[in-house]
């Protein structure tokens, strides 16, 4: 059975997706629903673009609430829905949810947090108004009695799409936003990679020149970022995919307040690339071969060249199926708990 077939039961369903436009993730959700013939309308819960919009959504949500609620009301005049799927929930309001429920009394309301609850306090106030609340953070799931559901990967990370002759000419790659202690740890990896004569593609994204200035003043390690590693423009999804395919080992520095796996970790492992990460939670997944993962922290004194250079161990297809956007959608639309794909079912069905 093809992996997309698990969404056949939702063919023709109508979903209103309310989420921030974040890198390539929203496009992956919409593409998967389109492939499954699910009717999805997307509304950005950050009406103002760029860093300003993000800051207002997080710290002054009331500014966005009225506009987002109006946008939802406008959408409800044109169509009814079977689901309201909210990601992050920075601009939720009592009016928005009440209006949606009034117009769609039989619809299911689902909230997914791809950030920690500590960074989603606005959404926390609305947990009890949803039929199901999911979080990518296992610790938060236990603390707040909500469902655990890891992040997802899009179909472009299917390992079956990678050319068997794909050249892996980049030893290490980091692609991500600068935050917390990332600069300190990435500077350490840069130093150790140079000592070991290993290539390191280090792409550190900063949202704006204002953020750059503040971080430059406050973060000594950030000021020591090697030349050419800091960027104000996001890397394109196509360029990122090409880079990851050329890479042997993905470097990940998880936010210290989070325990959920980041996108780069699950993308790398799903497409058959090893991972060097600060997040020991990756070892909790039975379907991930531990030989493809190494954990590090600020005490790292050298890079394990054998680990980096040796091929990926095992078949990444099982990892991909467990993290695929299709499985993620099946879970949130059925409103069930996340249950990993059994290894035997992968072998039998493909």
With H, G, I as helix, E, B as strand and everything else as coil, classify residue 274: strand
CA 254, CA 189: separation in Å to the nearest integer? 14
**What is the C-alpha separation between 30 and 32, in angstroms, rounded?**
5
Give the pLDDT band (50/70/90) at residue 53.
Answer: confident
Report the C-alpha gap between 313 and 45 in whole angstroms: 41
Question: Across the strands, what pairs with 250?
Answer: 173, 275
At 56 the pLDDT is 76
pLDDT band for 49, please (50, 70, 90 cuts). low
Q: Where are the beta strands (DSSP E) in the chain?
A: 14-19, 39-44, 83-87, 108-113, 132-135, 147-148, 170-177, 200-205, 230-231, 247-252, 274-277, 293-295
Written as six digits, the tokens of 23 are: 């890198």
Rg of the chain over Cα atoms, rounded to whole angstroms, equals: 21
Q: Which of 245, 248, 212, 214 is nearest to 230 (CA)?
A: 212
Residues constituting the chain:
350
pLDDT on residue 225: 97
pTM: 0.89
Per-residue model confidence as pLDDT tens digits over 249-285: 999 999 888 888 999 999 999 999 999 999 999 999 9
Interval 132-183: pLDDT, tens: 999 999 999 999 999 999 999 999 999 999 998 899 999 999 999 998 899 9
Check pLDDT > 70 for residue 84: yes
Q: Tell me, rounded to whole angstroms, the distance of Cα 36 from its chain centroid.
A: 21
CB-CB contact of 348 with 321 (8 Å): no
**What is the distance between the alpha carbons of residues 279 and 175, in angstroms, rounded to a whole number?**
16
Compare 218 and 55 and report the one with higher pLDDT: 218
Mean of the per-residue pLDDT values of the chain: 92
From residue 263, alpha-carbon distances to 114, 115, 222, 306 in Å are 10, 12, 22, 25
């Amino acid at each position: 059975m093809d992996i997309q077939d698990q969404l056949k039961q939702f063919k023709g369903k109508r979903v209103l997706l309310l989420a921030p436009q974040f890198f390539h993730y929203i496009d992956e959700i919409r593409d998967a629903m389109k492939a499954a013939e699910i009717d999805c309308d997307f509304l950005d819960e950050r009406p103002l673009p760029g860093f300003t919009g993000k800051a207002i959504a997080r710290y002054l949500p009331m500014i966005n609430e009225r506009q987002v609620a109006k946008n939802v009301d406008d959408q409800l005049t044109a169509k009814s829905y079977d689901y309201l799927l909210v990601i992050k929930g920075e601009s939720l309001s009592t009016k928005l949810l009440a209006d949606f429920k009034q117009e769609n009394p039989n619809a299911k309301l689902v909230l997914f947090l791809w950030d920690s609850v500590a960074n989603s306090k606005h959404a926390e106030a609305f947990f009890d108004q949803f039929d199901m609340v999911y979080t990518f953070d296992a610790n938060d799931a236990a603390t707040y009695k909500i469902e655990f559901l890891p992040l997802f990967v899009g179909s472009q990370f299917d390992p079956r799409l990678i050319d068997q002759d794909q050249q892996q000419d980049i030893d290490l790659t980091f692609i991500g936003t600068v935050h917390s202690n990332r600069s300190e740890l990435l500077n350490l990896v840069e130093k150790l990679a140079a000592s070991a004569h290993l290539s390191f593609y280090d792409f550190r994204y900063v949202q704006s020149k204002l953020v750059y200035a503040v971080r430059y003043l406050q973060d000594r390690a950030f000021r020591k970022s090697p030349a050419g590693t800091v960027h104000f423009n996001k890397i394109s999804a196509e360029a990122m995919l090409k880079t990851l395919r050329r890479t042997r080992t993905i470097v990940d520095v998880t936010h210290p307040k989070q325990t959920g796996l980041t996108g780069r970790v699950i993308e790398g492992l799903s497409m058959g690339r090893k991972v060097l990460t600060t997040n020991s939670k990756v070892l909790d997944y039975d379907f991930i071969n531990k030989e493809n993962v190494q954990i590090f922290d600020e005490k790292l004194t050298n890079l394990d060249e054998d680990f980096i250079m040796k091929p990926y161990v095992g078949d990444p297809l099982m990892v991909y199926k467990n993290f695929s956007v299709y499985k993620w959608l099946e879970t949130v639309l059925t409103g069930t708990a996340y249950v990993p794909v059994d290894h035997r079912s992968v072998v039998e069905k493909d």
